[in-house]
Structure 1
Amino acid sequence: MTEFTEIRNGRVVTPSGVVENGRVVVAGERIVRIDRADGVAAGGGTVIDADGRVVMPGLIDLHGDDIEGQFAPRSGAETDPTTALATTDRMNVLHGVTTKFHALAFEEAPDDGRCLENAARLARAVERGADTLGDNRVHARCELADASAAAVEELTAEVDVDLVSVMHHTPGDGQYDAESFERHYVEDRNWPVDAAEAAAEERGGMDDASRNRRIDRVAELARRVDAPLASHDDECRADVETMADHGAAISEYPITLDAARRAKALGLATVMGAPNLVRGGSLWDNLSAAEAIEAGVLDVLCSDYHPASLLAAPFVDTGEPLSTRVNRVTRNPADVAGLPDRGRIEVGARADLVVVDPSPTPTVERALVAGAEAIRTGDATATRSAPRPVGR
């Protein structure tokens, strides 16, 4: 007889609404039933009493660079990549993230631990996936000023790259002017002043033809590994149009409302950071996530640098239904990443599920990954039920 797991008495968030006093029945790795918890338990397995808590799909994070902080918590203090992955993985599942795209910066920035070789080491650790709870994937962020495309091309012989993005961090292009560029690299990333000045000069010296050739190479890499291509920090319509011409499917962190609107008009998915929404605005005084939501141009939220914000984001009141807010961190990123089997509570979907107590701060009490229990905290209780066929 098939072993079932049943989550009942919860507020079950489906793509189109909320089933109050609902239940979700899981067999193996898949969801097999969704309805109200008025009847008897399915039987023959574990029954989890959600007791009025929110039951939602596991979160899907398209861009989170927190593994880099676990790998190099301080400048010059590197840890083992496998340990960094295991720690990051558990922190993410504890915050409801069951599918994680680790945003690894392929750039030469040795003063803060970022370099092509370290990014490759972390990618290999993600590929091995040793001692992990969630589904961990590689998001290769290619800095145009460095030999990033060549490094990622070489890496694809041994690592699956699931998402590719184009970065070009330079003063006056994207989110940084000259002052904020130096402040970011010197104060936030602990670079020496002369190193930040040298990087600004080198990156600012790239002409349009060279930049386009490098974008072409990154775009070809994304096509070859069949991964979505994302732009990064689009500032204006022309930025979006250029990347769309190169085949981009995603606009990450559009800086202005005009750029976000153009991305939507061209069919690109727009992705912004959950911390922007939770803290009430952009850290760099760029487009706020709340403004983008109000304008109808924000498709996906990602953790950026703070997984707890991704869990908190659906519970920020934006005037939208809860299901719409949850879709922004579950179904929508799944669709963008080409993972239609998850990110939704539907019959046949992969059983990545979290039970969340939203008050006073959103907290995961249970997490299932592909039907298997990954995290158990809090008061959500489980009991064994006597065998009973589903549907009786």
Structure 2
Amino acid sequence: MTELVEIRNGRIVTPHGVVEGGRVVLADRRIAEVGRAGTEPVSGATTVDADGNATTVDADGNVVMPGLIDLHGDDVEDELYPRSGARVDAREAVIAADRGNVSAGITTKFHAIAFEETPSEDRSIADATALCRALADAGETLGDNRIHARCELSEESVGAVESLLEEVPVDLVSVMHHVPDGAQFDEEEFSDHYVEQRDCTREAAAALAVRRRNTSTRQRAAYADRVAAIARDRSVPLASHDDDSPEAVDRMAAMGASISEFPVTLAAAERAASEHGIATTMGAPNLVRGGSLWDNLSARDAVDAGVVDALCTDYHPRSLLKAPFVDTGEPLAERVARVTVNPAEAVGLYDRGRLRKGARADVLVVDPDPTPTVERVYVAGREAMRTTRPDTARERVPTA
């Protein structure tokens, strides 16, 4: 007997538009059918749950859409250090991050783990390695958790990532080099970023600025070449980070980068999109809050210019669920694609990210009002999470 789940009476977001009052049938980890309600059951199959009972979910007019795919979210680092200096076990951090992401509708997560030696902001190569090992060993997760190794352009960081790829599977590699007086930060903004966002002291931020300035342009290029070689040899997608000019995009494209993360200027985003066909990703929090936290390129401006392929969580997982419900004047299916099929295709995951027959059955039921909230999450056809509303007919228990 085939185990099936039928989700009926939803606003089904397909690659081509929205099917009102439609249904989706999940069978054996895949999507068996997408269409209008009232069609015949799947031939030769019975809709049952693990106990042999019929499983039909009434979406009650809510949005039914693919599971979200996040290519860059560093929230697992916050789970490792819930407060500066207060480290928990890496495995515990992974499990907590997994649950938090699934509750936000993220079914495929690329945990962006920074390989850099800045203990003052609770980042170290040892911690990054421990998180990657915990992710590789985690067997109790609800979602599909993957490793995105963010490599600072330094000898110790590049060497650590080279060693890591000999030990655990890495699914995405990116290069980063945050330095004051660049396009992203001036001197004051650099200090503010590390003090306010990373719990650094002013003294530690100043020392970090000096250390990063002391890496010459030639050294940075040599380190970037090594990271690109790592990705090429392992057939791992390569991403650039915070491209600040068309020339920066050109350099990374020549190294084989297929993704440009958080371009700082519109000119850089346009170069990536129009001349190199590089997938451009912006932060969902940037779109949701209406602008960049650091006065860099606005995600909405980039969307309006037609140069945003995908959105990612950056530092706030729940923003990814809110993003497709931000009215940009585009059809809902197009907005949903930025958080589902587009990021999937950017990293070669062609089995997921869209509601169509044969695709991996990562599916969400989302109540969009008053704020987008996940009602049900299915990962590879199995229910991973469900939220229940209080019974409004039931009286509350009085308190003393």
Do both proteins adopt the same fold according to a TM-score greater than 0.5, normalized to the shorter chain? yes
1:61 aligns with 2:70: yes
1:9 aligns with 2:16: no
CA RMSD, 1 decimal: 1.4
Rounded Cα–Cα distance in structure 1 between residues aligned with 2:210 and 2:296: 24
1:29-51 deviation line (CA, Å, top 9, x unaligned): 00011110023555432111101
Amino acid at match of 2:165: T
Contact 1:82–1:130 (CA under 8 A) maintained in structure 2: no
Rounded Cα–Cα distance in structure 1 between residues aligned with 2:183 and 2:112: 18
2:322: which partner in 1? 312
Contact 1:62–1:100 (CA under 8 A) maintained in structure 2: yes
Contact 1:175–1:286 (CA under 8 A) maintained in structure 2: yes
Rounded Cα–Cα distance in structure 2 between residues aligned with 1:368 and 1:267: 32
1:44: which partner in 2? 47
1:218: which partner in 2? 227
Amino acid at match of 1:70: E
Query: What is the 5 A alignment of 1:206-355?
Result: 206-265=215-274, 266-355=276-365
1:191: which partner in 2? 200
2:396: which partner in 1? none
1:162 aligns with 2:171: yes
Amino acid at match of 1:17: G
Structure 2 SS opposite 1:301: strand
* Residue 117 of structure 1, aligned match among 122, 126, 140: 126
Amino acid at match of 1:14: T
Structure 1 SS opposite 2:112: strand
* Residue 372 of structure 1, aligned match among 382, 386, 400: 382
Amino acid at match of 2:28: G
Rounded Cα–Cα distance in structure 2 between residues aligned with 1:189 and 1:83: 21
Amino acid at match of 2:130: R
Give the 4+ runs in structure 1 shifted more than 6 A: none
1:388: which partner in 2? none
Amino acid at match of 1:12: I
2:95: which partner in 1? 86
Q: Which has the higher contact order (CA 8 A, sep 6+)?
A: 1
Q: Which shifted more, 76-85 or 173-182? A: 173-182
Q: Alpha-carbon deviation of 1:173?
A: 2.2
Amino acid at match of 1:310: L
Amino acid at match of 1:27: A
TM-score w.r.t. length of structure 2: 0.93
Structure 2 SS opposite 1:99: strand
Structure 2 SS opposite 1:147: helix
Rounded Cα–Cα distance in structure 1 between residues aligned with 2:121 and 2:304: 37
Amino acid at match of 2:278: L
Rounded Cα–Cα distance in structure 2 between residues aligned with 1:213 and 1:93: 38
Q: How many matched pairs?
A: 381
Amino acid at match of 1:93: V
Q: Alpha-carbon deviation of 1:186?
A: 2.2
Contact 1:342–1:351 (CA under 8 A) maintained in structure 2: yes
Contact 2:6–2:47 (CA under 8 A) maintained in structure 1: no
Q: Alpha-carbon deviation of 1:327?
A: 0.2
1:24 aligns with 2:27: no
Contact 1:254–1:260 (CA under 8 A) maintained in structure 2: yes
Q: Which shifted more, 152-161 or 187-196? A: 187-196
Structure 1 SS opposite 2:204: helix
CA shift in 2, pair 1:285/1:38, >3 Å: same
Structure 2 SS opposite 1:55: strand
1:282-301 deviation line (CA, Å, top 9, x unaligned): 00011111100100000000
Rounded Cα–Cα distance in structure 2 between residues aligned with 1:41 and 1:88: 37
2:35: which partner in 1? 35
Rounded Cα–Cα distance in structure 2 between residues aligned with 1:366 and 1:246: 41
Rounded Cα–Cα distance in structure 1 between residues aligned with 2:68 and 2:251: 31
Rounded Cα–Cα distance in structure 1 between residues aligned with 2:211 and 2:91: 33
Contact 1:41–1:47 (CA under 8 A) maintained in structure 2: no
Query: What is the 5 A alignment of 1:125-144?
Result: 125-144=134-153
TM-score w.r.t. length of structure 1: 0.95
1:148: which partner in 2? 157
Contact 2:116–2:125 (CA under 8 A) maintained in structure 1: yes
1:188-225 deviation line (CA, Å, top 9, x unaligned): 21223222212211211222211110000010111122
1:361-385 deviation line (CA, Å, top 9, x unaligned): 10000000000000011369xxxxx
Contact 2:47–2:56 (CA under 8 A) maintained in structure 1: no
Rounded Cα–Cα distance in structure 2 between residues aligned with 1:371 and 1:379: 23
Where structure 1 has 5 or more consecutive residues not aligned to the other structure, the ranges are 381-392
Rounded Cα–Cα distance in structure 1 between residues aligned with 2:368 and 2:152: 38
Rounded Cα–Cα distance in structure 1 between residues aligned with 2:171 and 2:334: 25
1:335-354 deviation line (CA, Å, top 9, x unaligned): 00110000110100000000
Amino acid at match of 2:109: K
Rounded Cα–Cα distance in structure 2 between residues aligned with 1:364 and 1:353: 11
Amino acid at match of 1:229: L
